[in-house]
Amino acid sequence: MHIQISKSSKKNILEIGAGTLNHIKFEKKYLFYDIVEPMPFLYKDSQYLKDINNIYKSSKDIPNNILYDNIISIAVLEHITDLPSELVRLSKKLNDKGVMQISIPTEGSFLWYCSWRFVTGISFYLKYKLDYKPFMKYEHVNNSKEIEILIRYLFKNVKIIRFPFNIFHFSFYTYIEASEINFDSLKVLEKLLDE
């Protein structure tokens, strides 16, 4: 997931849900690197903290005058409870030629189900004697299809690649690259969210 996202050339980067700052080492070409991470304990001891320009607890905290060439998110969007509002906010933070790059688990695919149910789920049960399914239900509140639908609605140019095979039910992870904001759709969604 990290390698695919780091392939494009970019200048000003915003990473959503940066966690322990484990992605920045993959980025070679940037002028500044900002992050949104609500949990400081995740990054406070990171060796990469010195490379971060601005840290925001929420995308709502980013000043209106700051725009980005690239907004990235790795295994984050499936956890966001108010995803439509968040994507509206983030799309407004892209400059005219900006690109949003997203990596998410292919939640809802057969291969993803088998991986968490029969690998993680079994090891979790053996260790804690608990069913892993409720954790997945409350941890992953958006599946990949829901995320894809929102991205396709907000952007005119969307490219989707799945791994290891580019077939929905035979993939673990999905990479989405989106550009060219659809301002008509953005206005409609903003209006719906305001009501």
Alpha-carbon span 121 to 109, nearest angstrom: 16
Fold of 2-107+141-194: Rossmann fold (3.40.50)
Q: Is the pLDDT of residue 129 over 90?
A: yes
Across the range 73-92, mean pLDDT stands at: 97
Q: Is the pLDDT of residue 183 over 80?
A: yes
Domain ranges of the chain: 2-107+141-194
Read off the pTM: 0.91
**Do residues 22 and 39 make contact, with C-beta atoms less than 8 angstroms apart?**
no
3-36, pLDDT tens digit by residue? Answer: 556 556 568 999 999 999 999 999 888 899 999 9
- Residue of 192, 110, 100 whose CA lies nearest to 148: 100
pLDDT for the residue 190? 95
